[in-house]
Chain A
Amino acid sequence: MSDREYAVVGTRPVRHDGADKVTGRALYGADFDAAGLLHGYILRSPHAHARILRIDTSQAMALAGVKAVVTAADFPQGSDRMVDLGEGDVPLSYVRGNLLASGKALYRGHAVAAVAAVSRHIAEEAAGLIEVEYEPLPCVLTAPDAMQEGAPLLHEDLKAGNAADHHQFAMGDIDAGFAAADVVLEREFRTATVHQGYIEPHAATALWNNDGRVLVWCSTQGSFVVRDVTACVLDLPVSRVKVTPLEIGGGFGGKIPVYLEPVAALLSRKTGRPVKIVMSRKDVFEGSGPTPGSYIRVKIGARNDGRITAAQAYLAYEAGAYPGSMVVPGAMCIFAAYDIANVAIDAYDVVVNKPSTAAYRAPGATNAAFAAETVVDEIAEKLSIDPVEFRLLNAAHEGTRRADGPKYRRIGCVEVLETIKRHPHYNAPLEGPNRGRGVAVGFWFNIGFASSCNISVNADGTVNLVEGSTDIGGTRTSIAMQAAEVLGIAAADVNPSVVDTDSIGYTAVTGGSRTTFATGWAAYEAAQDVMRQLKERAAKLWGVDAASVTAEAGVFRSGDKVLTFGELAARLGETGGPVVGRGAVNPKGVGGSFSGSIADVEVDPETGKVSILRFTSVQDVGKAIHPSYVEGQMQGGSVQGIGWALNEEYYMSPDGTMLNSSFLDYRMPTALDLPMIDTAIVEVPNPGHPFGVRGVGEANIVPPPAAIANAIYRAAGVRMRRLPMNPPAVMEAIWSQRD
């Protein structure tokens, strides 16, 4: 456990952007304004699957106030190629095709054309005047249906039909493993398509400037991804695109893909004026990327002594309109919490006529854990072993090999389970009828990737820290704190800024639980660079060898000579001028995170409504840089997991229309629905990071649906195998048990 004492790391300073956020001064995507600004509107397909035969924009262009209309034909028409946009290689045709449909509309809500006008209302009216002739085609909405022979094909170029990709992970001898088991259970699960539900809709403004440069202001998790996608789609060198990230009102993975910026740029090129496009909530639900719905089959065998001998899984995830469903991470995570010798996993990425899916907090893992952790719970019950004890008997630890790859380094799965076992919540009596308690655990990775950071020293003893990671969840502060720790100054004396893509080195997305890890590491390196230079400056002032200068807690010493950080900063002019430190990393050393949930529920046997009575999130976070923000991530992930468990789903008509595309009907939990989410931080430092940081932002969403399903079983006696577990689903399960 973490026992190292730090001056700044592990404390709870006020966040640097707090004042702007709470006073409403922070500028988000839709707040941006510019002289001559035009407003854009996207026309979307009313069909889930249709050939586009003709688009006539003449009536729209004739409407007073309309300045431009664009379709896919306005994109540069180069040949298709694979492009690396920071999220792996994808065909350029897929990227362009999702921005504006060409040839076929692949889901209801697929963008077909865009208008720029002097007001949003005129743009919207003009979009209604665009004539699109469609040839509707049969649609397919679930992975199992799409994999059937004879299912409507979305992409004729996919060799394997709608099952775009197949991955396998295997280890040991699966047949021998099941033969050695005393209990074998196999169960099927289905999960619905759900959305990240970020409060701020997608918003972007673009200006195709007279000098040929494209300037973009937007809400994004990755300004460099926006730059690279915009440049690639418009066939421009990356140096011709500059992206300024504005504040981001939530993303959770959903603001990594690019939807608006290249379209706004095309409209700007035609008009010579900046063009802003802001999605409505309906646009967000129908036109941006939710997380995949899925079909999962899990088979687990165990001996009477509680050891799991074999585990097998089949996963088919809905990618939406284009391949890339995150089924592979789901397959990698499904048994990640356990040390199992014999494992076989098959994972299928399946295209369907729904919006192209995007990452959503531990993408793919929540679906998988719902299935695996429900079966684990059922086996523990059959063996009459406490569910936490059963998990401890099989828990992954340092040296455990996952079926997909290398052995774990130091991890905290056992520590998370032990924390659950002794937690007051787990040991408190739960009294009353129709009430039950469930537990589950889950895993998510942590990625490295490139990050850059610059630090310049001010004469008043403060520093300016410049970074490229858009701030989600307080990352300005968690990054600044790591610099402050090295510099020996207070977190408040670091002034962090998130800057545009011209002003900092390449920095990958704020995602994959990487920002505090990797950009924090870049800040650590930049601060180390500053300290090296400051020691040289002190040596110059004192006329001593730089090697004799030490620094601790913001005080430089050589023999009896002493200068504080602030005193030395004030004398930079006489020792050579400004001091600027730089840090650029692409680190190894990532440390995955395990999380556990304890859920108490009450099930109304008359209506099937499930109420959360008490909920505790436990997570190994490595070293908590700012414990309040870590707790915030754990609470936020838990609440999203609860919403996924109990309410959230794309409710689809058979023709592929989402019938609940507003927050009124797409029910996410609010503070009124839930108790306070309790948190228990477990600190097993990651030996691969200077401060022991692990990814924190994602693992916490993984176990809640399974924990709640297990709690429902103990409350109502029914095993739930479909998400969401809303009142109709629970009542159906109760009634089928009575039958």
Chain B
Amino acid sequence: MAEVHIPAMLRELTGGRSTVEAAGATVHEVIEDLERRWPGIRDRLIDGGRLRPNLSVAVDGEVSPLGLREAVEPASEVHFVAAIKGGA
């Protein structure tokens, strides 16, 4: 199962755990698996069928442009990170 790192502000939903394991072939499926065990986490991550505004997902260290559709391997590390925008 993939190792999912829970953002600090969502750890209230996972009993304070910063990392949990979850199953799924895509980020979306991983979130659905998290939702089964920690109800309410889906709505904190997804809005209107997409990752919530200003949130990105990184799989194995790479921020994904595919978001919920990004593939996840059993040994993957999944992070929900703040989306970074433009500058210079």
Q: Which residues of A contact B (CB under 8 A)?
A: 82, 84, 87-90, 166-171, 221-222, 251-253, 256, 326, 328-329, 332, 359-363, 404-409, 444-445, 447-450, 472, 508-514, 586-590, 633, 637, 688, 697-698, 701
Contact of A698 among B54, B62, B63, B87 (CB under 8 A): B87
- Cα distance, A291 to B11, chains bound together (Å): 31
Q: How many A-B residue pairs have CB under 8 A?
A: 110
- Cα distance, A408 to B83, chains bound together (Å): 16
The answer to whether the Cβ of B49 comes within 8 Å of any Cβ in the partner chain is no
The 10 residue pairs across chains A and B that have the minimum distance between CB atoms: A511-B86, A89-B53, A697-B88, A168-B8, A405-B81, A170-B8, A361-B88, A512-B86, A586-B65, A406-B61
Do A360 and B9 touch across chains, with their CB atoms under 8 A apart?
no
Chain A residue at smallest Cβ distance from B11: A170
Instruction: Encode contact with A along B50-70: 1 for CB under 8 Å, 0 otherwise.
Output: 000110001011111100000
Q: A448-B63, A588-B64, A589-B62 are in contact. List 17 more A-B contacts (CB 8 A).
A: A82-B53, A88-B53, A88-B83, A169-B8, A170-B8, A171-B18, A221-B86, A252-B88, A253-B87, A359-B85, A360-B87, A362-B88, A406-B79, A510-B86, A590-B63, A637-B88, A698-B87
Q: A89-B53, A252-B88, A697-B87 are in contact. Are A167 and B82 (CB under 8 A)?
A: yes
- Chain A residue numbers with a CB within 8 Å of B58 are 405-406
Do B86 and A406 touch across chains, with their CB atoms under 8 A apart?
no
- Chain B residue numbers with a CB within 8 Å of A444 are 87
Chain A residue at smallest Cβ distance from B66: A586
- Cα distance, A326 to B85, chains bound together (Å): 9
- Cα distance, A633 to B18, chains bound together (Å): 39
Main secondary structure of the interface of A (DSSP, over half): loop
Shortest C-beta distance, B52 to chain A (Å), equals 8
- Cα distance, A3 to B59, chains bound together (Å): 30
What count of chain B residues pass the 8 Å CB interface test? 25
Q: A588-B63, A588-B64 are in contact. Are A328 and B86 (CB under 8 A)?
A: no
Shortest C-beta distance, B46 to chain A (Å), equals 13
Q: A167-B9, A406-B77, A588-B64 are in contact. Are A328 and B82 (CB under 8 A)?
A: yes
Residue among A221, A448, A588 facing the most chain B CB atoms (10 A cut-off): A588
- Cα distance, A538 to B47, chains bound together (Å): 52
Residues of B1-44 whose CB lies within 8 A of A: 5, 7-9, 11, 18
- Chain A residue numbers with a CB within 8 Å of B79 are 405-406
Shortest C-beta distance, A572 to chain B (Å), equals 34
Chain A residue at smallest Cβ distance from B78: A406
Q: What would 8 A/B residue contacts be, using CB atoms closer than 8 Å?
A: A167-B82, A170-B11, A328-B82, A332-B84, A362-B87, A405-B5, A588-B65, A697-B87
Chain B residue at smallest Cβ distance from A360: B87
Do A407 and B61 touch across chains, with their CB atoms under 8 A apart?
yes
Contact of A512 among B9, B81, B87 (CB under 8 A): B87
- Cα distance, A140 to B64, chains bound together (Å): 39
- Chain A residue numbers with a CB within 8 Å of B60 are 406
Do B87 and A449 touch across chains, with their CB atoms under 8 A apart?
no
- Chain A residue numbers with a CB within 8 Å of B18 are 170-171
- Chain B residue numbers with a CB within 8 Å of A87 are 85-86
